[in-house]
Structure 1
Amino acid sequence: MTTPKHTPPPVAADEPTRLRSRTKSSQILRTQSDDLATRSSRLAGLALLIFLFVGLLSSGALIVSGQISLLPDKVLTPQFFDGDITHRIAKELSNAQLPTTFAELERGVSWLLLSDTGPRVRSGCPDWLFLADELKVNHQAQRNADAKVQAVIDLKQQLSQRDISLLVVIVPDKSRIAYEQRCALQRPAALEGRIQAWTTKLDVGGVSNLDLTGALTPLGASAWLRTDTHWSESGAKAAANAITQRLKTLGISATPRRSFDESHAPLAVRPGDLVHLAGIDGLPLKWQPAPEMVAQTSINELPVASVASPDTEADLFGDADLPNTALIGTSFSRNSNFAGFLQQALGAPVGNFAKDGGAFSGAANSYFNNPAFKETPPKQIIWEIPERDLQSAYIDPIVFRPLR
């Protein structure tokens, strides 16, 4: 049996014409699409150029006007390795209006859609935020820590020559104490022993010190504010009491003796600095992490009867009525009424010379060049240092000039 051959279907007479017509139509559509893409890309490129040009103009205007400074007065090598220079440039340029507006928009959208908190803040359990610097393993960490330990030892020796005692107080990281609120947020194991290693070297160098981990650990998460870098009033009060007990064991007494009382404001929203650092503080409160409610405490010195004593009669310049204790440090000493709680625990006023953003040595340098130190030096100095600053780059060396 013969297999029938496959015969292709007959081709219509006008088929080649239809094929040519479809091919021509496709070419026309591609040409139109290419033209549209070309025009669109040109418009996008022009828009980008305009955006960059406006940003350049706004940044240039700030630089020319002297409103921003891209580089610090003194540039040190560690600042390049740790990214401090590029971070400073980015921070300074962000002061221009256009970058600020777009940055705020980007931060808000990233938080609402992705729960992203930006490069400086990390999210823990719901409504808990942590500072990224606490979780950072610093470049040349051991070298930095050793340099800072030696600087403290040298300062202690110089102060001792002037009969001024020094107590160094270490504030542990929030992520160390409130560890149960980290949830999936990991803390590097390399950071576990850095306080103990640092204070051990201070002990060897003869520097009195206090690690507040023991005082804050029993409080757990309640020692800290949820959306802020700093301790809560409970944590601040526990720290003040621990410092007072340590000074007693050292035989140090704060003067002049005073009495204090405290008052409490009604509960109110306390803005968290980590919400600000995350760039989401411009959003409505309901879209932010749950706001913190705090009844702020005020410590007030009670008036004393003006009865002259032999000491005050002999004190021609009134120095006997000045605090003999000075507090230097960071924003921890300026938050949650820590200085007030310290005065109340000591039963004496304290000169608070702490500095916001002072990091390791900013407040120390400001105070030692302050007329208050040169003209009426204290008998003891309490130096509060956050754990996260122990191993960061030592870029602001302590300068201690002799008293005259």
Structure 2
Amino acid sequence: MRRISFLLALCIFAESIALSQVTSTPTRSGWLFLDEEQPLKDNELDSDIDISLSIIKGVSHYLVSKGIILVVTPVPIKARVYSDKLDAPLSLSANSRYQRALDFFKKNNIFAVDTLAAYRRAQRQSPQNLLYFQLGSHWNTRGSEIAAQATAQVLMKLPQIQEIDKVNVSLRRLPPLKTEDSMMKMIRPESTIPIVDIIEYDNPVDVTINSSDSLLGDAVPSIALVGTSYSEKTWNFPKMLAYYTKRDVLDVSLAGQQIWIPMQKYLSSTEFKEAPPRILVWEVPERYLLYPPGGYRVADTGWLNTLP
């Protein structure tokens, strides 16, 4: 346990240093994109992606051994969803990365949500309604809600979902709210493309869950969500997942700690040991597949081996 705590502290420190080095680049369309979303050249980080996918496979095997179903919700990079706003097309390697991950999950019998397909349908239906912030790095509430809907559709096809008590969940749409999600302070100093710092608004929702309506009154939800800053309360992804499944969701997401640390921390927790979920949803931003444990974003190379 001391070893796990030390590794977690080391990983968090490394992550905080790395985050301070993340930069963004403006495009002539007036949008900002994270530089790390695009490798500098094709196949530059293919081996790192392979490592990340193999670790996700290892986590899936670990959960299956305990009778738990893993469902991965990939979060497509903003540059993929809005590639028409880029000054140059995605590299061949970056362009194929998302589908490569989906193909890997299918081949290895890991349930995965095709979030990008859901986004494409939404864009065709109402192209004027954005899914990501123009100047920010995250999805907005609409993007979060569509991802929650797509994830719920996958969950509702699992036989295990029928064994989980339903709860009463209500959703209320709130007035537009100014967002603080902006990458203006992260622009590369050498950038020569002018960009206007516009005010962006989000359309937040309020989701209320009444767990007391559960027939069996489970103390701990049977669906757990491990996620990143995309699952922060700002965009209500966990509660909207509860709304569209009509099941309570235990949110153990951690912002600013990549994808490996939140998962390691949860699987090593007393909460997981004493009340494991039946279904575990892993919200995985596509760009984090570029940074497996042992890379500059995460210090620990053997954390999966530390799990009980």
Instruction: Give the TM-score, by structure 1 length.
Output: 0.62
Shift of 1:156: 1.5
Shift of 1:218: 2.6
Show the counterpart of 2:288.
Answer: 389
Shift of 1:125: 4.5
The runs of at least 4 aligned residues of structure 1 exceeding 4 Å deviation read: 89-92, 137-140, 303-306, 400-403
Q: Write out per-residue CA displacement over residues 301-353 of structure 1, whole angstroms, 9 at most, x where no aligned residue.
A: 247469xx6x55xxxxxxx2421000012111114211121110010111111
Give 1:356's aligned amino acid: A
Q: Write out per-residue CA displacement over residues 16-39 of structure 1, whole angstroms, 9 at most, x where no aligned residue.
A: xxxxxxxxxxxxxxxxxxxxxxxx
Show the counterpart of 1:210.
Answer: 113
Asked if the contact 2:144–2:236 (Cα under 8 Å) also holds between the matched residues in 1, the reply is yes
Show the counterpart of 1:88.
Answer: 17
Shift of 1:393: 4.1
1:298 is the counterpart of 2:206: yes
| Structure 1 residues 151-300: aligned runs within 5 Å | 151-182=55-86, 184-220=87-123, 222-253=130-161, 255-278=164-187, 289-300=197-208
Asked if the contact 1:256–1:321 (Cα under 8 Å) also holds between the matched residues in 2, the reply is no
Give 1:326's aligned amino acid: A
Give 1:347's aligned amino acid: K
Could you tell me which of 48, 63, 74 is aligned with 1:144? Answer: 48
Shift of 1:140: 5.3
Question: SS at 1:249's partner residue?
Answer: coil
Instruction: Give the TM-score, by structure 2 length.
Output: 0.79
Q: If each structure's helix is expressed as a fraction of its own residues, which one has the higher value?
A: 1
User: Gaps (5+ residues) in structure 1?
Assistant: 1-71, 75-83, 93-118, 281-286, 313-319
Q: Write out per-residue CA displacement over residues 124-156 of structure 1, whole angstroms, 9 at most, x where no aligned residue.
A: 354421111112348852221222222122222
Alignment partners' CA distance in 2, 1:390 and 1:338: 20
Asked if the contact 2:141–2:203 (Cα under 8 Å) also holds between the matched residues in 1, the reply is no
Asked if the contact 2:23–2:188 (Cα under 8 Å) also holds between the matched residues in 1, the reply is no
Show the counterpart of 1:399.
Answer: 304
Show the counterpart of 2:266.
Answer: 367
| Distance change (3 Å), C-alpha of 1:211 and 1:298 | same
**Structure with greater contact order relative to length (CA < 8 Å, sep ≥ 6):** 2
Give 2:285's aligned amino acid: P
Count of matched residue pairs: 279
Asked if the contact 1:172–1:211 (Cα under 8 Å) also holds between the matched residues in 2, the reply is no
Asked if the contact 2:114–2:150 (Cα under 8 Å) also holds between the matched residues in 1, the reply is no
Shift of 1:215: 0.7
| Structure 1 residues 23-172: aligned runs within 5 Å | 73=10, 88=17, 91=20, 120-137=23-40, 141-172=45-76
Question: Which stretch of structure 1 is more off in the superposition, 391-400 or 161-170?
Answer: 391-400
Give 2:80's aligned amino acid: R
Asked if the contact 1:171–1:211 (Cα under 8 Å) also holds between the matched residues in 2, the reply is no
User: Gaps (5+ residues) in structure 2?
Assistant: 1-8, 190-194, 295-299
Give 1:299's aligned amino acid: V
Shift of 1:278: 3.6
Alignment partners' CA distance in 2, 1:140 and 1:293: 36
Asked if the contact 1:127–1:290 (Cα under 8 Å) also holds between the matched residues in 2, the reply is no
Asked if the contact 2:83–2:89 (Cα under 8 Å) also holds between the matched residues in 1, the reply is no
Q: Write out per-residue CA displacement over residues 82-124 of structure 1, whole angstroms, 9 at most, x where no aligned residue.
A: xx89x938949xxxxxxxxxxxxxxxxxxxxxxxxxx711113
